[in-house]
Amino acid sequence: MFPEYFSVVRGVKVSYSAVHINNLLGCDVGGACAFMRERERIDKSDMEAREELKKIVCRPGAMWLPHSPASLPRRMSLTSFNPVHRAWGEFWLKNVRVVGNSSEIQIDNACAVRLLVEGKYINLGYWLQKDLHEIANHPNPTFTLGHCNLIAALCRANNVPMDVQEGDLHPIRPLSLSYFIKKFERGPIVPRGEGNAAGEEALREEEEINRFEDGVHPDQHEVPVDEPQGMPEPAPPRYSHDINQLASMLHQMEIS
């Protein structure tokens, strides 16, 4: 049913097909994947269908993230989701369809979250296979990595020689009930900021996110230059965001 995907790791052929992943994780195959049909439908949907999806997964007052006037909206803030939908959204974005910016969610992934909450069958192995294949064949030199534990588990299952210096990988801690109750907002969304300032800030953040996702990292590939001894230390960097906000963002950037 599914094509065979594999890679050679240290001389050992390692399959990462949907069948192998489902067997490894102990997932039951329950017929046709509901997300395959719904993903195609929502990608071609009109504004009415998109608004209906937003109404289901989001709290009252949720807004679409900025988009081109010539296109339909595709992105929402994950913090605008209902608590249960948000919990499943974080699971999906950190474990299945790994993205560089998990604070927002594309409409197709929002559709997957709705199906999960409704208890519909999703073929987990297929979507993990798809994500691994996209990572292995990404055309850009800089992109989002993920699934470290899954890759390591597949290698162990196929007896790939392990380096003694390789450390263990620890999964993200599960969402606790206390954190869910205290941190996941409920009720209607209260708008933050007034006038054009909030909109301009949102546009600036969107541009930064798009540059990151497109692989444009101006400082990442620079070769460090040895500075002469005795030179004064450079001034601290100037941040475009609040330092506390940056620290919070770094804390949330976890590798699944």
pLDDT in tens, 181-211: 777 888 777 776 544 444 555 555 555 555 5
Residue 5, Cβ neighbours under 10 Å: how many?
18
Phi, psi of 138 (to 5 degrees): -70, 135
Look over the chain and give the mean of its residue pLDDT values, rounded to a whole number.
76
Which residues have a Cβ under 8 Å from the Cβ of 50 and sit 6 or more positions away? 42, 72, 73, 107
Q: Is the pLDDT of residue 251 over 60?
A: no
pLDDT of residue 100: 76
* pLDDT category of residue 145 using cuts at 50, 70 and 90: confident
Span 49-106, pLDDT tens digits: 999 999 999 999 999 998 888 889 999 999 899 999 999 998 899 888 888 788 899 9
How far is residue 169's CA from residue 162's CA, in Å, rounded to a whole number?
13
How far is residue 162's CA from residue 97's CA, in Å, rounded to a whole number?
27
Question: For 157-171, what is the mean pLDDT?
Answer: 74
> Quick one: tokens of 153?
């588990």
Between 72 and 223, where is the model more confident? Answer: 72
Burial of residue 86 (CB within 10 Å: 0-12, 13-18, 19+) is buried
Between 241 and 231, where is the model more confident? Answer: 231
Question: For 147-171, what is the mean pLDDT?
Answer: 79
Question: For 132-150, what is the mean pLDDT?
Answer: 83
